[in-house]
Amino acid sequence: MTFTTREVVDRILELLSGEGGLAEGLEQIKAAYGQDPARPDPATVRVLKAAPEFAERALGARYPEVRVYWDRIRSRPTEKFRRFSGEMRVVLEARVSQDRLEGITERLQYYCDALRDVLERRSGCIGPGLYLSGEYEVQVEPVKKGGSQFVQAAKVTCTVIINRT
């Protein structure tokens, strides 16, 4: 059987929400960012690729937020006798909002580093025929109007290698 896109996204969601996931990553890097001893703000994690203004209007904004979606599948039939051999690019989009401009980028970096930490620690086999490569790319967007007053987002893009018979 080949893979389903939902299966790959579900595996990534499990990595983020399970043991050793995003909450643990936030906790581990808290001291490096000078966060107080209280637990860091948990991020809402959801499967969604939508323009921020539509999502805020339709679903209500709850920040910080991490959106998980895929944006590209590439077939690379390099392995013979496989039904599918290729890769899928998955995007983890972190979004933060606050009423002051000061410190918003540092707060976003905090969540990006936690996402990177999860990807680095959990790379390898994530399911039958699914492998999270250790490669990722981070793109930070400029601050925009939205959310509480200001909103900033960053995309952490990773690759899942897929080999299915």
From 13-17, 30-34, 39-43, 135-139, the region with the lowest mean pLDDT:
39-43
| Residue pair 47/29 in contact by the 8 Å Cβ criterion | no
Would you state the pLDDT for residue 28? 84
Question: Does residue 146 surpass a pLDDT of 70?
Answer: yes
Instruction: Give percent of the chain above pLDDT 90.
Output: 45
How does residue 124 score in pLDDT terms, banded at 50, 70 and 90? very high
Alpha carbons within 13 angstroms on the beta-carbon side of residue 86 total: 15
- 10 or 81: which carries more pLDDT confidence? 10
Domains and CATH numbers, the chain: 5-164 (3.30.70)
Question: Does residue 160 surpass a pLDDT of 70?
Answer: yes
Question: Does residue 152 surpass a pLDDT of 70?
Answer: yes
Would you state the pLDDT for residue 141? 95
pLDDT digits (tens, 9 = 90+) for 70-92: 999 998 877 777 788 889 999 99
| Residue pair 69/49 in contact by the 8 Å Cβ criterion | yes
Would you state the pLDDT for residue 32? 79
Q: How buried is residue 78: exposed, middle or buried, by Cβ count under 10 Å (0-12/13-18/19+)?
A: exposed
Mean pLDDT of the chain: 85
Q: How far apart are CA 56 and CA 112, in angstroms?
A: 21
How does residue 131 score in pLDDT terms, banded at 50, 70 and 90? very high
Residues in a beta bridge with 153: 95
Q: How far apart are CA 9 and CA 82, in angstroms?
A: 21
Residue whose C-alpha is closest to residue 111's, from 48, 158, 44, 51: 44
Question: Does residue 37 surpass a pLDDT of 60?
Answer: no
